[in-house]
Structure 1
Amino acid sequence: MFLIFVVILALTGAFAGVVSGLLGVGGGIFLVPVFLVLFRAFGVSEEVVMQMCVGTSTATIIATSLRSVVTHNGKGAVDWGVLKSWGPAMGLGAVLGVLAATAMHSDTLMAIFGIVAALMGVYMLAGAPRGRLAPSLPGPAVYAPLSGFIGFVCAMMGIGGGTFGVPALSAFGLPVQRAIATSAGFGAVISLPACVTYLLGSTGNAQTLPLTVGYVNLPTFALISLMTCLTVPFGVRLAHVLPAVRLRLIFAFFIILAALNMLRKAFF
């Protein structure tokens, strides 16, 4: 049973790394549903299982996003000005998102994850809307609350900043490759403060996995981080040489199925 657990985690981490580098959406959208199945199978208490899933997923995003940023920056695609201006509110939103997640019942968090994941899948199926909201990036009155919202939702769900960052930056005129590269940086900005907050959280007397600190299981974090770091560069290379339409559609169907399964578990 333990060997199966390790093999599934390793394969999931490898897949999440490719997806993160290729589409800039962050691997958390795939990791959390897998974590939920595995953590439940190993007896994690229902009242904290979803929080452990998103907390551990958030921790893995640190390594994935940093590796992705370094690789994208090697191609000159990261907009550091956007990262510096959007980062502070995004980091604050991330901390607030963790506090909200740990205050919720696990089923409520599961339902929120399912709804947002389903919407993301539909968005990916439909493709990015044509046209732009504005010819250039917005000023502080717009990007401060927008980046704070992105940080809040992503930290609460344990997903990378690219999930919302890529569509937002693209809508304001940033070329898609540059939006993907910069959103990889969003993942680091969100996951670092969010991970610290999850680590400082308390599960009380709830049953968790061995070597769990706060809401983060350290062995799972280590294995997933290792695998994603190995495969992110492959996804980045694909992002710069392949039209990702067909792959995006495949991933969208997968996300929708995972979201529907999450909603089923939350409500039935």
Structure 2
Amino acid sequence: MSFLLMYLLLGAGVGVLAGLLGIGGGLTLVAALAWLLPRQGVPADAAMHAALASSLASIVLTAASSARAHHRRGSVLWPTVAWMVPGVLLGGWLGSGLAIALEDGVLRWCVAGYCFVIAAQMLLSRAAAGGVDARVPRGPGYTLAGAGIGMVSAIVGIGGGSLTVPLLVWRGVAPVRAVGTSSACGIFIGLGSALGYALQAPAGALPLPGAVGYVYLPAAVGVAITSMLAAPFGARLAHAISGPALQRVFAGFLLLVGSAFAYSALR
């Protein structure tokens, strides 16, 4: 199977997760890319940096497709997005700069730990309440929160849904609107972070055609093509089904992903 076909198939799965749960797609993508990219000639000591950077670059388009689908259903709180965008852009840039300075093994532990935390959150949390549909969080506090979310997201290669969604639900937003709003924020998390990995990387970071800094464009674009098509399907599912059982299954998957990263970091 060609690498391009593998990226296309991977993108389809990531897109569904992005639209359905608002979380998890980026973690799945980072794990897959960390395994695939060395087989394409990415140096082992740059594999995690390239996986994170390429994941975040693809998230820009995946999140845009998911946000568009949620917007058509009235599920994106754009005033909240506007307050969070400056923070997530800055946080993404700063977080990617920090990640570039970290060694491959340290990044693997960061992703492993994050997988374990999110899996525990999904397993232990009760089903989210319906929220208050009229609630539209806004204010400078959300800009500050966005900076933290952007920084963490850049270091572990995600669109920030596993942080943004719980924050908004806690502040009274209905879960499906929290997912839609998180998808819109994910566009700017991916943008700020990917630019950071591209422009702050050392010269010749990836000695491959199609690489810009640590962003490997063939992987990012291949994943993005099918994830954009699949994200609206995930968004439709989010509006149609209850997610507790699916969350438990996915939490188990994240535990496996985290264990795999922890094992690779120990080798």
Q: TM-score normalized by structure 2?
A: 0.92
**Amino acid in structure 1 at the alignment position of 2:34:** L
Deviations 1:163-217, CA, capped at 9 Å, x for gaps: 2100111111111011000000110121112212222133445554431111111
Residue 141 of structure 1: how far off its partner (Å)? 6.0
Per-residue Cα deviation, 1:226-257 (whole angstroms, up to 9, x for no partner):
01011011100000001112221111111110
Q: Which of the numbers 71, 93, 96 marks the counterpart of 1:95? A: 93
Q: Which residue of 2 aligns with 1:230?
A: 229
Match of 1:116 among 110, 114, 117: 114
Following TM superposition, by how much is the alpha carbon of 1:42 offset from its aligned partner in structure 2, in angstroms? 2.8
- Report the Cα distance in structure 1 between the residues aligned to 2:137 and 2:63, rounded to whole angstroms: 24
- Match runs of 1:1-268 below 5 Å: 3-25=1-23, 27-128=25-126, 140=139, 142-204=141-203, 208-268=207-267
CA distance in 1 between partners of 2:129 and 2:175 (Å): 13
Distance in 2 separating the partners of 1:222 and 1:41: 18
Farther off after superposition, 182-191 or 138-147: 138-147
Asked whether the equivalents of residues 56 and 215 of structure 1 are also in contact (C-alpha less than 8 Å), the reply is yes
> AA paired with 2:125?
G
Change (3 A) 1:131 1:226: closer
Shift of 1:125: 1.8
Gaps of 5+ in 2: none
The letter of the residue matching 1:35 is L
> Which deviations, in whole Å up to 9, do the C-alpha atoms of 1:30-71 show, x marking residues without a partner?
100000111122332122111100000000001011111111
The more displaced of 198-207 and 102-111 is: 198-207
Structure 2 CA distance for partners of 1:94 and 1:34, relative to 1, 3 Å: same
Sequence identity (%) = 32
- For the Cα contact (< 8 Å) 1:93–1:149, is it kept in 2? yes
Q: Which runs of 5+ in 1 are unaligned?
A: none
* Offset, 1:127: 3.0
**TM-score normalised to the size of structure 1?**
0.92
Q: Distance in 2 between matches of 1:5 and 1:26?
A: 22
TM superposition shift of 1:128: 4.5
The verdict on how the C-alpha distance between 1:231 and 1:158 changes in structure 2, with shifts beyond 3 A counting, is: same
Report the count of equivalent residues: 265
Cα 1:140–1:267 shift into 2, 3 Å: farther
Structure 1 residue 145, shift from structure 2 partner: 2.8
CA distance in 2, matches of 1:30, 1:81: 30
Alpha-carbon distance, 1:156 to partner: 1.6
- 8 Å CA contact 1:97–1:155 kept in 2: the answer is yes
Give 1:214's aligned amino acid.
Answer: G
State the 1:89 CA deviation. 1.4
Contact 2:42–2:206 (Cα < 8 Å) also in 1? yes
Deviations, residues 62-116 of structure 1 (Å, cap 9, x unaligned): 1011111111010011101101112111211111001001111111111101101
